[in-house]
Structure 1
């Protein structure tokens, strides 16, 4: 009977570990340019590639791609230890916010394009 319990427990643990698995590859869903943002519906999720060219204060930055510039809001927890300079190509994913007379993107995910994953802390060779 103990053997059956052990087999059942192992099977149950295997099923739960498969349920927690998730896709971790590149996400190109709804990739748009800054110029296309005006045509995107409010609260729609978008992916953009470009550079953060200026800190505007607080959590607000100016993001630029080949088609133009837009203000983005990057909350502190979105950075996850990633350091970004104005010359770094990044990919951001967030929600479009059309307010009175301007459009901005509330960033929920940020990553350097082509960079190796960074861990929180530890030695990172540069």
Structure 2
């Protein structure tokens, strides 16, 4: 009698253990399913979305590439001076040699002060 009560308790404890194990497995499966669902959220992208993205990207690239209107360099190279004065390289060289346009030579490159160029323009025009 004692043996059967003991075996009945063992059988009951196995049933509780199996039920608990089954519940844990169900809980783990639900957790995995929820995690998988959160990672696999799908968003539909339409042609209009792509067009908006393209326009935004192009505008951003244009602003990065275009020179800033507020940016002015104090020291200019010969090419910059040629564009401002609309003259040739030889003319810039002649202005430098004659002393009409001051320059500073750094590592073999002549630099011209913007203020000196503007002063020379005002003197000649006016």
Q: Of the two, which has the highest radius of gyration?
A: 2
Tell me whether the two structures share a fold, i.e. TM-score over 0.5.
Answer: no
Bigger share in helix: 2
Task: Output the TM-score relative to the length of structure 2.
Answer: 0.31
Task: Output the TM-score relative to the length of structure 1.
Answer: 0.31
Relative CO higher for 1 or 2, CA cutoff 8 Å, sep ≥ 6? Answer: 1
